[in-house]
Amino acid sequence: MIVIRDTYQLRFGRIDQAVDLFSRMPKTAVGPAPLQHHALTDISGKMYTFVSELLVANLAEWDTIRNKYYDERGFDEWFKEFQLIVQSGRQEFYTVECEHTGWSRPGVVVVREIYNAFKWQIRPAVKLLLHYGALLEDCGVGRNCRILTDLSGEMFRAVIEIETEDLAQWESNRRNMYQQANFQAWFTQLASAVEGGAHEFYRVELVQKPIADEAREEE
């Protein structure tokens, strides 16, 4: 599976407008649809950052979906509104390295840890992050772990994302985890595979399923 991650820097104070726009983006009723669509907003980093994520089976499917969106009735008018609130943006592609059902619901916090692996050490880094995800869940730090690796941009990037109810829960349980011997042993191994990293925090604002799935639920 592939995640297409569009990160936008919005004009000051325009977060709510972006969330509203993406909640009413025109949806095609025919042809392929994204397996998941999430919208997230910044808790850390640059203010008024908005992230749109699409999960697709492969890049060929993404190309088809993108063209369907562009041809959808109402897309041009929708895009004119969106242009008015955006200053800049970037697009990144990631490979999903584990099974993931999507973020559970709007309101949860996603903690995103980006690691720069040593050259040609991306596979060992992924293996270690899968173990890390299990530790996070076992210690109550978070749930619903997702591992990503770079498909575009800077090479040798590995990302672990996990959702939590709030930052207080994440911080408290993480401190307790640090004291455990199995975490300390894991961290020693990680230091041999990565050379640096960064934390980012986002709030989930929108969770959308494929149109076919939504129609089945309504029935």
Write the DSSP string, 202-219.
EEEEEEE--HHHHHHHH-
Residue 215 pLDDT more than 60?
A: no
Q: Which percentage of the chain shows pLDDT scores above 70? A: 93
Say if residues 108 and 164 touch (Cβ distance below 8 Å): yes
The domains located in the chain, with CATH, are 2-98+203-218 (3.30.70.100), 111-200 (3.30.70.100)
| Confidence class for position 37, pLDDT limits 50, 70, 90 | very high
Cα–Cα distance for residue pair 23/78, rounded to 1 Å: 11
Q: Specify the DSSP element, H or E, that contains 172.
A: helix 167-178
Say if residues 199 and 113 touch (Cβ distance below 8 Å): yes
What are the tens digits of pLDDT across the range 73-131? 888 999 999 999 999 999 999 999 999 989 999 999 999 999 999 999 999 999 999 99
Residue 96, pLDDT score: 97
Cα–Cα distance for residue pair 163/8, rounded to 1 Å: 21
What are the tens digits of pLDDT across the range 168-198? 989 999 999 999 999 999 999 999 999 999 9
